[in-house]
Amino acid sequence: MLKNICKTFCFQRKYRSIISLSHERHRLLSTEDKTREHVKSAEISQPIESTFESINRVLKDKSLKDLLNEASSELESIGSGAQELTQRDINESIAKRDQKRLSLRPKTAPEDTTVMLFPGQGSQFVGMGYHVIDSPNVKQMFTIAKQILGYDLLDLCLNGPIERLNQTQFSQPAIFVTSLAAVESLRQSGSGDVESCVATAGFSVGELAALVFAGALSFEDGLRLVKIRAEAMQYATELVPSAMITVFFNADARINFACNAAKEWCLRKGVQPEYAVCSVANYLFPHCKVVAGHEEAISFLQMNAKDFGIKKTKRLPVSGAFHTSLMAPAREVMREALKRIRIDVPLIPVHSNFDARVYSNADDIRKKLAKQIVSPVRWEQILHIIYERPKETKCPKTFECGPGTSLLSTLNMVHGIARRSARHVPV
């Protein structure tokens, strides 16, 4: 039955926008046997609390210190061995990927399929939206966004100011909406590339765009989640002085040792133990990661980079230590929000930032989307799973849908052959 819905889904996408498609998706699923797994896991949407209400309730039940310690303990319990997926893990995921694609598209050559990638925070710029605003359905998307967000997102995207656009609570919704607008633009080109998609992934907040594209979330619920996620993360950044840096390092670099040394430095400087955080936040490509944590820890790393085999560091223009335990308050808020919306099984494989694997069901999405906020983004591992294949097998075409081309640059460093058939869909 799910295979039939997939066929209907792909057919509908040729003619339907993301907004109207989400309504059709719910109608199709609601007519099926209610005992089916993917229908049982889909709940009727409930009103999502405001970020303020949710934060107050979360902090009423647990202190900030308890939240931070809990998140830190969870990450440590995973074990250092989980920091990198083993080759066996990657091979198993690749086998499952190939089996899934064969069941959906048994006669389609790899080069005739596509992969859609969605960028994360930091890719925003004033003027984004200009290239897609005249595409059918895009204006409707921005109209809905204005109703949900309570401000004119299109005006902010087109005219700025950049200082406001760069703030987390504004940049995340802006990237989410313009990324899906890019999909609409690509769809209207008539190339058939949207309909040929066999896998999708999004970086950090881009993962929510990927889930909407894959039919797991409606556009409206996806945007509501982005709104509360962004506001909660902004709130968390204001609690502790923190930062993020990209580190470029040698093969013999000791990144984990460097992070532990930075934590010890924080403690010697009088930072409370629950705030003394320094850990890998993003796995980008070989010999390049993003490290995030307390401001004292990041400053220590920058000053002592060469002692740990780090060749170069670069500060990111963000206000907090995203994807670390310092985001624990935001994770709790996201958990509560995810309980209140309808989530369906993705009709296209979506790779999770949390463990790089394809989401299996609605409960899987709920758990990992919340964990993602305090866990590293395993982007390098995701790219390996999507693109690894025998040398004689061609790669699918790749499209980065959204502002910037950072994901294409990263793809070039991980899988140069796949990058040759990749392009950006401008916004």
Domain assignment present for residue 69? The answer is no
Whether residue 249 sits in one domain with residue 204:
no
Residue 284 and residue 228 in one domain: no
At which of 285, 320, 355 does a domain end? 320
Q: Does 394 lie in the same domain as 247?
A: no
Cis amide linkage into residue 390, ω under 30° from 0: no
pTM assigned to the model:
0.84
What CA–CA distance (Å, rounded) separates 406 from 24? 33
Asked if the structure places residue 67 within a domain, the reply is no
Least confident of 47-56, 118-127, 286-295, 392-401: 47-56
Residue 160: inside a domain: yes
| Better-predicted residue by pLDDT, 338 or 45 | 338
Indicate if 323 belongs to the active site. Answer: yes
133-137, 200-204, 239-243: least confidently modelled range: 133-137
Distance from C-alpha of 77 to C-alpha of 60, rounded to nearest angstrom: 26
Shared domain check, 278 and 259: yes
Torsion 304-309-313-319 (CA) sign: negative
CA distance linking residue 323 with residue 427, whole number of Å? 27
Residues 194 and 316 in one domain: no
Query: Where does the pLDDT of residue 70 fall: very low under 50, low under 70, confident under 90, or very high at 90 and above?
Result: low
**Same domain membership, residue 185 and residue 91:** yes
- Of the candidates 406, 133, 290, 191, the residue with the CA atom closest to the CA atom of residue 143: 133
pLDDT at 9 exceeding the cut of 70: no
Output the pLDDT for position 56: 66
Q: Is residue 228 part of a domain?
A: yes
**Helix segments in 105-191, DSSP class H:** 138-149, 153-159, 162-165, 168-188
Q: Hey, which residues does 292 pair with through a beta bridge?
A: 244, 279
388-401 in b/e form (b: 16+ CB < 10 A) is bbeeeeebbbbbbb
Q: What's 306's domain CATH number?
A: 3.30.70.250
- Compute the distance between CA of residue 45 and CA of residue 221 in angstroms, rounded to an integer: 8
- Do 355 and 230 share a domain, yes or no? yes
DSSP at 351: B
Whether 293 and 379 share a structural domain: no
157-173 tens-digit pLDDT: 999 999 999 999 999 99
Position 360 confidence tier, pLDDT thresholds 50, 70, 90: very high
| 47 has pLDDT over 70 | no
Q: Are 184 and 136 in contact (CB under 8 A)?
A: yes
Give me the catalytic one of 38, 294, 323, 351.
323
In the chain, % of residues over pLDDT 70: 75
The CATH number assigned to the domain holding 149 equals: 3.40.366.10
350 and 305 fall within a common domain: no
pLDDT value, residue 8? 38
Whether residues 198 and 84 share a domain: the answer is yes
% of the chain exceeding 90 in pLDDT: 70
DSSP 358: B
Structural domains counted in the chain: 2
Q: Is residue 311 part of a domain?
A: yes
Q: Read out DSSP for 197-211?
A: EEEEEESTTHHHHHH
Which domain, by its residues, includes 31? 2-50+76-102+120-236+325-425
Q: Can you point out the beta strands (E) in 295-396?
A: 310-315
Task: Please identify which of the residues 17, 123, 171, 204 carries the catalytic annotation.
Answer: 204
One domain for residues 215 and 291: no
In a domain, 113, yes or no: no
Q: What is the pLDDT of residue 325?
A: 96
Res 20: pLDDT: 63
Q: Is residue 29 situated within a structural domain? A: yes
Whether residues 258 and 355 fall in one domain = no
- On the 0-12 / 13-18 / 19+ scale of CB atoms within 10 A, 73 is exposed
